[in-house]
Structure 1
Amino acid sequence: MINEYEKLLAGLDDVDWANLSHAYESAHDVPGHIRTLCGDDDEARKQAFSSLFNSIFHQGSRYSASPVAVPFLARIAVAGPAAARADTMWLLTRLAVDWHDEYDVTTGINVAGWRAAAAEAGPEEFLPWYEEQLAGATETHERAQLQELRDWVVAGNSPDSRWSALQSYDAVLAELPGLLVLLDDDDRCLRTRIAYLLAWFPEFSTTSLPRLLALAAHEKDPVTAATALLAAGLVGPSATAEGITPHLDAADPLMRWAAATALIRLANLDGTPVSPALLGRAVAELSAAARSSFDRVTDYCEGDRHGHIERTLRALPPGSHPDSVREALEACLPRIVRDSSGSRTRRAIQELFPAPLPHPAPGFAELTAAQQQLLGDLAGHRHAWLIRSSADRLRDIGLPDTQEALRSYVGTHRTA
């Protein structure tokens, strides 16, 4: 361990990690992984991050060890080795808000609703059920399992994922005052990561909102500025529209996208000052963005800007600019280069190829522009599993069902 980082880990060995849990039962290995983040072995550090992601944040699940690790990770993000800080910020963000959750909160996270749901699923709600089951159990092995689970609940845990995730969210919330210094860090990546993290904490907006708007106004890097601008729109009240509207005239299309997305979120709030004309400008900007390729993306929805546009437009108040919204949604449909879940791809195949093609299949040039766009994106997609997950459907409609065959059909070997 490099001595200059020892102070960041003060108290790490005082935690009873063996009695905390993660995805692989006991969390006894967590302090070793955290300590490795502050070491000078780059390969070991990468492995430690991988182990932490797979244990305290396993496929989106959080565990009793997850919130306990947060303060140590926050210290590393602020003052740890340069090679570890950005990745640590990413882990903190995912401990707060799972990426699958984020897809459902494109227009802002509903923390009040989350807290209400978690309150109904806390340990005190489950304890009577476990005690009832334990009282009626007669088989020795069954009683031992129930006793173990009952003791775990008595210790202050809940089997409900909403409750366990909220514990990590609140642990990160408690660290935000100290993490704010990253908004002024020399590292652009860290400025971007803290702006993105702040997007999911509306309860902290009194402090974060002016800082985010200032960063959006003065930041030279378009990705960082756009990240901050959209974060301000996601956590701010309706009056935030005043500070965001000027960015609709920005020279950079990424900033215009962020401003338009933020304004549509604000238009959905009660008492919004967003006028129909301004909302129309925002919709028009997203419609233009939907027809474009992107040289740069933000971390929102893992960089799937077309997917983000689609979700934003579907959140518009009913009847808002139906023609332009329909055209924008149609433009987004075949753009799946950054689809990481596969859901948008499967829907696009279904909608753009509703019936089997004639046999033999028409040439690529004979397909519609939207069909060509979809297959071109799919042929060059960075995740080969995306085609494998849609292979049955492609085969049923008479199209190549492997990436190699699809590339040959499309006539290009471009990569995403």
Structure 2
Amino acid sequence: MINEYEKLLAGLDDVDWASLSHAYESAHDVPGRIRTLCGGDDEARKEAFSSLFSSIFHQGSRYSASPVAVPFLARIALAGPAAAREDTMWLLTRLAVDWHDEYDVTTGINVDGWRAAAAEAGPEELLPWYEEQLAAATDADQRAQLQEIRDWVAAGNSPDSRWSALQSYDAVLDELPGLLALLDDDDARLRTRIAYLLAWFPEFSTTSLPRLLALAAHEKDPVTAATALLAAGLVGPSSTAEDITPYLDAADPLMRWAAATALIRLAGLDGTPVGPGLLGRAVTELTAAARSPFNCVTDYCEGDLHGHIERTLHSLPPGSDPAAVREALDACLPRIVWDCYGSRTRRAIEELFPAPQPHPAPRYADLTAAQQQLLGDLAGHRHAWLIRSSADRLRDLGLPHTQEALQSFVGAHRTA
């Protein structure tokens, strides 16, 4: 361990980690992994991050060790080794909201609803139920199992994932006042990471909103500026539309996309000043972004610009121009850059290839532009499982149904 970072880990060994849990039962290994983040061995650091992601944040689940690790991770994000700070911010973001929330939600987190649901499954609510079950149980093995769970719940835990996730969310919320310093960090990637993290904390908006709007106004890095602008639109009240509307005329199309997305969210709030004219302009900007995607993308929807645009359009309030919305959705349809569940891919295949191809199959060059785009995206997709999950339908349609076959079919004609 490098001595200059020892102060960041003060109290790490005072925690009874063995009494806490993560995905692989006892969390006794967590302090060693956190300490490795501050070491000088790059390979060991990567392995430590991988271990932490798969243990205290395992496929979206969080555990009793997860919120306890947060304060130490926040210190590393603020003042740890340069090689560790950005990844630590990613881990903090995941501990606050899992990737399914980040991918699916374009209108911001409903924390009030989350808290209400979690309260119904908290230890205070569940403990009487477990005690009733324990009192009624007659089988010795069943009683032993119920006793163990009852004692665990009595210690302040809950088996409900909404409750355990909320504990980590609140732990990150507690660290936000200190993490705000990253908005002024010299590293644009860290400024982006904190702006993105703030987008998921509407309860902190009284403090974060003016800082996010200031960052959007003065930031030189376009991705950081757009991330901050959309974050402001996700946590701000309806009046935030007045601050965001001018960015519909920004020179940078990424800023116009962020403004349009934010305004659509704000239009769904009660008392919003966003009128039909502005919503029409917002839809026009999203259509333009779908047709001419940017070279750089933001973290929203894991960088899936078209998936994010599609979800945003589906959140439009009633009264939007259906023809304009359909045009925008059609522009998104063939773009399968990343599809979390495969549903967008299957729908695109069904809509763009409603009937089997004639025999012999047409050449790639003879397909429509939208059909070419879809197959081109699939041929170069970063996840082969997406093609495998649609292989049967592609085969039934007389289309190449493996990534290798798609790459051969598309060949040199593939569109970007």
TM-score (norm 2): 0.97
- Aligned residue in 1 for 2:188: 188
- Aligned residue in 2 for 1:378: 378
Pair 1:64–1:232, CA change in 2 (3 A): same
C-alpha distance in structure 1 between counterparts of 2:414 and 2:284, whole Å: 30
Pair 1:398–1:71, CA change in 2 (3 A): same
- Aligned residue in 1 for 2:20: 20
The answer to whether residue 174 in structure 2 is matched with residue 174 in structure 1 is yes
Pair 1:415–1:65, CA change in 2 (3 A): farther
The answer to whether residue 344 in structure 2 is matched with residue 328 in structure 1 is no
- Aligned residue in 2 for 1:77: 77
Q: Which amino acid aligns with 1:124?
A: E
The answer to whether residue 81 in structure 2 is matched with residue 49 in structure 1 is no
Alpha-carbon displacement from aligned partner over 1:263-293 (angstroms, at most 9, x marks no partner): 1111111000112111111111111111113
- Aligned residue in 2 for 1:363: 363
C-alpha distance in structure 2 between counterparts of 1:348 and 1:160, whole Å: 36
Q: Which amino acid aligns with 1:256?
A: R
Q: Report the secondary structure of 2:339's partner residue.
A: coil
- Aligned residue in 2 for 1:132: 132
The answer to whether residue 311 in structure 2 is matched with residue 294 in structure 1 is no
Q: CA deviation at 1:413?
A: 8.5
C-alpha distance in structure 1 between counterparts of 2:125 and 2:347, whole Å: 39
C-alpha distance in structure 2 between counterparts of 1:359 and 1:187, whole Å: 56
Where does the alignment leave 5 or more consecutive residues of structure 2 unmatched? none
Q: CA deviation at 1:349?
A: 1.4
Q: CA deviation at 1:355?
A: 2.9
Alpha-carbon displacement from aligned partner over 1:209-251 (angstroms, at most 9, x marks no partner): 0000000000001000000000000000111111111111111
Alpha-carbon displacement from aligned partner over 1:153-192 (angstroms, at most 9, x marks no partner): 1111111111111110000000000000000000010000
C-alpha distance in structure 2 between counterparts of 1:126 and 1:414, whole Å: 56
Where does the alignment leave 5 or more consecutive residues of structure 1 unmatched? none
- Aligned residue in 1 for 2:311: 311
- Aligned residue in 2 for 1:102: 102
Whether the 8 Å contact between 1:352 and 1:371 is mirrored in structure 2 is yes
C-alpha distance in structure 1 between counterparts of 2:341 and 2:73, whole Å: 28
C-alpha distance in structure 1 between counterparts of 2:375 and 2:170, whole Å: 43
Q: Which amino acid aligns with 1:20?
A: L
Which deviates the most, 54-63 or 360-369? 360-369
Q: Report the secondary structure of 1:411's partner residue.
A: helix
Q: Where does 1:10-409 land on structure 2 (aligned, <5 Å)?
A: 10-409=10-409
C-alpha distance in structure 2 between counterparts of 1:12 and 1:347, whole Å: 49
Which deviates the most, 316-325 or 45-54? 316-325
Pair 1:372–1:414, CA change in 2 (3 A): closer
Q: Report the secondary structure of 1:382's partner residue.
A: coil
Q: CA deviation at 1:408?
A: 1.1
Pair 1:104–1:293, CA change in 2 (3 A): closer
Q: CA deviation at 1:121?
A: 1.1
Aligned residues with identical type, % of pairs: 88
How many residues matched? 416
Q: CA deviation at 1:136?
A: 3.0
Q: CA deviation at 1:28?
A: 0.6
C-alpha distance in structure 2 between counterparts of 1:138 and 1:357, whole Å: 64
Q: CA deviation at 1:415?
A: 10
- Superposed CA RMSD in Å reads 1.4
Q: Which amino acid aligns with 1:134?
A: L
Q: Which amino acid aligns with 2:169?
A: Y
Which deviates the most, 60-69 or 339-348? 339-348
Whether the 8 Å contact between 1:380 and 1:413 is mirrored in structure 2 is no
Q: CA deviation at 1:414?
A: 6.3
C-alpha distance in structure 2 between counterparts of 1:268 and 1:23, whole Å: 38
Pair 1:323–1:413, CA change in 2 (3 A): closer
Pair 1:337–1:412, CA change in 2 (3 A): farther
C-alpha distance in structure 2 between counterparts of 1:26 and 1:320, whole Å: 53
Which deviates the most, 42-51 or 291-300? 291-300
Q: Which amino acid aligns with 2:7?
A: K
C-alpha distance in structure 2 between counterparts of 1:161 and 1:103, whole Å: 18
C-alpha distance in structure 2 between counterparts of 1:89 and 1:415, whole Å: 35
C-alpha distance in structure 1 between counterparts of 2:365 and 2:338, whole Å: 24
Q: Which amino acid aligns with 2:84?
A: A
Q: Which amino acid aligns with 2:254?
A: L
